[in-house]
Chain A
Amino acid sequence: MNEFIQHVINGLSLGCIYALVAIGYTLVFGVLSLINFAHGEMVMMGAYFGMYFAKHFKLAEEPGISGLLLTLVATMIVTGCIGWCVEKFAYRPLKNAPRINLLITAVGVSLLFQFSGQLIFGSAPQFFPQLVEFNLDTWKIGELQFNPLQITVLGIALVLTVVLQTLVFKTRTGRGMRAVSFNRDLASLLGIPATRVISLTFVVGAALAGAAGVLVGLVYPKIDPLMGSLLGLKSFVAAVVGGIGNLSGAVLGALLLGLSEEFVVGYLAPTYRDAIAFAFLIIILLWRPSGLLGVNRIEKV
């Protein structure tokens, strides 16, 4: 039982990281109907920026929550700006082009980031500084041992997800986003500035991906310029399994993916972690082709 709960916690904290990335896919898909293949690279950029930031300010010398939060906020601002630039310079000029052009551009942007990452950061993996105390004895409830790192990651991801849900469902800006995602032309007729809403969506998505990058760095400290591609792919799959375009779906899909990976590692064969987890997701998609919470999109007239 104890072991089971440990696995659940591990799986959830991994799933939460996927969720932060999956939300970005689903948001951008919502407003532009675009699979933003460059989104995984935002995670990588976040991890690298976080690493340089923490090293520069020597935050690892005194590990603690304040240093972590500082790194997190700075990273989110920087990746948010990168997201803004990507939308402005890569996607906005194509707003009247066929959708396939956007998709190809997205692949191009992704490769651009991967290879300029290798050029700038070097292709050898680097180590993310340890920003949180890693003492297994400190957190204990009865028989259960909590890894403080995992709990911190889980907590941060949860807070960010809740903030995002509030933004999307409770604020004026969020209503604008949902209106644009339903029908951009119709939103314009009401005076909603669709271009600005789309731009903001990219900023929010990229900021969350940046945060995910820092959290990944904490949990799996070895980072490299290509780390974004598999992570991005998995999160994308999570978004699809949840029902792309649906926020809660993205979170649900990501948690399922995190848990199934963790259970495969814990109880089956660690070598086949990705294969088995993906097979599980394929089965879900066979059962519900539009995703767990997805609906068949109403054809626009």
Chain B
Amino acid sequence: MGNNVLLEVRDLSVRYGAVQALKSVHFDLIKGEILCLLGANGAGKTTLLKTLSGGLSPDSGTIRLHGSNLLALSTEARARAGMIHVPEGRGIFLNLSVEENLDLGAWTKRYTKTDYRAKLDEVFELFPRLKERLAQNAGTLSGGEQQMLAIGRAWMAEPEVLLLDEPSLGLAPKLIDKIFEIISTLQSKGATILLVEQNAEQALTIGNRGILLETGLVRMQGSAKELLASEEMRKSYLGLA
């Protein structure tokens, strides 16, 4: 693995007042993989993503991207370094058009006109629907379309690490399949993804490895196959006996 480690998280502890939300979380994210972050509500998944992207500061621990310390950087600087976070509940600018949302995704990039066009075409290839809705206000999109816009906008930034928080939340089953399919496609285009999901089984099907968080602790860590096969996982999180 050595050289392929993109993101290195060591002994990360985060506290919300009296609550210890993350306890010595420790993992590597390897270039090109999909790492699934699993666990029940309140296990600390979203807290971990927020800490990685800069919304929360940890009490202790280190986060390194390409070997350089991220903790000293502001949220904006982390985005410039390629840490792109698609927050829970999509987080799109409902007051702006689809086009303007996508354009803001490229904020850190300063593309030339041609490169910008090419990147936009790539997003349209992934989400043809967005092309039809380009001039529309993002607030008029359906939930699924908003999720597509959020992922498409993140893709405009050419992320080094893509943090996806519950992309399937609140979507119809057919759309969920579609979103997982897209996430796989992104991986085949070279993306490195940290995927937070409630939908553990489906996540592990497309993911390479998984981490199971339980009340802020890493309870289990391993390949997707191992986790899918593990007795404990099957009982508590996959709903299979």
> C-beta contact mask, A178-201 vs B, less than 8 Å → 1, else 0?
110111011111111110000000
Contact A176 B107 (CB under 8 A): yes
Proximity string of chain B (152-174) to chain A, C-beta cutoff 8 Å, 1 when within and 0 when not:
01000100000000000000000
Contact among A181, A186, A191, A298 with B91 in the assembled complex (CB-CB below 8 Å): A186
Instruction: Give the one of A187, A190, A192, A301 with max B CB within 10 A.
Output: A190
How far is the CB of A195 from the nearest CB of chain B, in Å? 9
Selected contact of A189 from candidates B85, B89, B95, B103, CB within 8 Å: B85
Q: Is B96 an interface residue (CB 8 A)?
A: yes
Does B144 belong to the interface (CB within 8 Å)?
no
Count of A-B contacts judged by CB separation below 8 Å? 63
Binary flags per residue of A141-183, CB closer than 8 Å to B gives 1, else 0: 0000000000000000000000000000000100110110111
* Partner of B94 from A190, A191, A194, A298 at Cβ < 8 Å: A298
CB distance from A212 to the nearest CB of B (A): 27
Q: Report the bound CA distance from A172 to B105 in whole Å.
A: 12
Task: Determine which of A172, A181, A192, A301 lies in contact with B76 in the assembled complex, contact meaning CB atoms within 8 Å.
Answer: A192
B 65-108 to A, binary, CB cutoff 8 A, 1 in contact else 0:
00000000011110110001101010101111000100111011
Q: Separation in Å of the B47 CB from the closest CB of chain A?
A: 15
Nearest to A192 among chain B residues (CB) is B107
Shortest A170–chain B CB gap in Å is 11
Distance between Cα atoms of A186 and B80 in the complex (Å): 14
A202 and B75 alpha carbons, distance in the complex (Å): 22
Interface residues of A in 255-301 (CB under 8 A from B): 298, 301
B55 at the interface (CB under 8 A from A): yes
Asked if B91 and A183 sit within 8 Å, CB to CB, the answer is yes
Q: A190-B108, A192-B107, A193-B76 are in contact. Are A179 and B93 (CB under 8 A)?
A: yes
Given A183-B93, A298-B94, A190 contacting B54 (CB threshold 8 A): no
> Residue B53 at the A interface, CB < 8 A?
yes
A189 to B84, CA, bound (A): 7
Within 8 A of B (CB), among A178-233: 178-179, 181-183, 185-194
The minimal Cβ–Cβ distance linking A250 to chain B, given in whole angstroms, is 16
Rounded to whole angstroms, the CA-CA distance of A189 and B82 in the bound complex is 10
Interchain CA distance A191-B156 in the complex, whole Å: 12
CB-nearest residue of chain B relative to A193?
A: B76
Q: Please give, as numbers and ranges, the residues of chain A lying within 8 Å of B76 by CB-CB distance.
A: 188, 191-194
Chain A residues, CB < 8 A from B93: 178-179, 182-183, 186
Smallest beta-carbon distance B160→chain A, Å: 12
**A181: nearest chain-B partner, CB-CB:** B95
CB distance from A217 to the nearest CB of B (A): 36
- From 52 to 76 in chain A, residues with beta carbon under 8 angstroms from any chain B beta carbon are none
B87 contacts A175, CB within 8 Å?
no
Per the 8 Å Cβ criterion, residues 21-66 of B in contact with A are 53-55
CB contact between B79 and one of A176, A182, A189, A298 (< 8 Å): that residue: A189
| B75 and A182 form a contact (CB under 8 A) | no
Beta-carbon contact of B89 and A188 below 8 Å: no
Whether the Cβ atoms of B95 and A185 lie closer than 8 Å is no
Which of chain A's residues 63-106 have a Cβ closer than 8 Å to chain B? none
Tell me if B95 and A188 are in contact (CB < 8 A): no
Q: Contacts A175-B104, A178-B93; is A191 near B85 (CB within 8 Å)? A: no
Give A31 Cβ to nearest chain B Cβ, in Å: 13
Closest to B89 in A: A301
Residues of A close to B79: CB separation below 8 A: 188-191
Question: Considering the complex, which residues of chain B in the window 123-156 have a beta carbon less than 8 Å from any beta carbon of chain A?
Answer: 139, 153
On whether the beta carbons of B54 and A188 are closer than 8 Å, the reply is: yes
| Partner among B75, B80, B103 whose Cβ is within 8 Å of the Cβ of A175 | B103
Question: From A188, which residue of chain B is reached at the shortest CB distance?
Answer: B75
* Inter-subunit contact B53/A190 (CB<8 Å): no
Known A178-B96, A190-B79, A194-B76; judge A185-B107 contact (CB<8 A): no
A-B contact pairs, 21 of them (CB 8 A): A172-B107, A175-B96, A175-B104, A178-B93, A179-B96, A182-B93, A183-B91, A186-B93, A188-B74, A188-B75, A188-B79, A189-B55, A189-B75, A190-B105, A190-B107, A190-B157, A191-B76, A191-B79, A194-B76, A298-B94, A298-B139
Q: Point out residues on B near A: beta carbons under 8 Å.
A: 53-55, 74-77, 79-80, 84-85, 87, 89, 91, 93-96, 100, 103-105, 107-108, 139, 153, 157
8 closest residue pairs by CB, A with B: A191-B79, A191-B108, A188-B75, A182-B93, A186-B91, A182-B95, A189-B85, A191-B80
Residues of A at the B interface (CB closer than 8 Å) are: 172, 175-176, 178-179, 181-183, 185-194, 298, 301
Q: A186-B93, A191-B107 are in contact. List 5 more A-B contacts (CB 8 A).
A: A175-B104, A179-B104, A186-B91, A190-B79, A190-B105
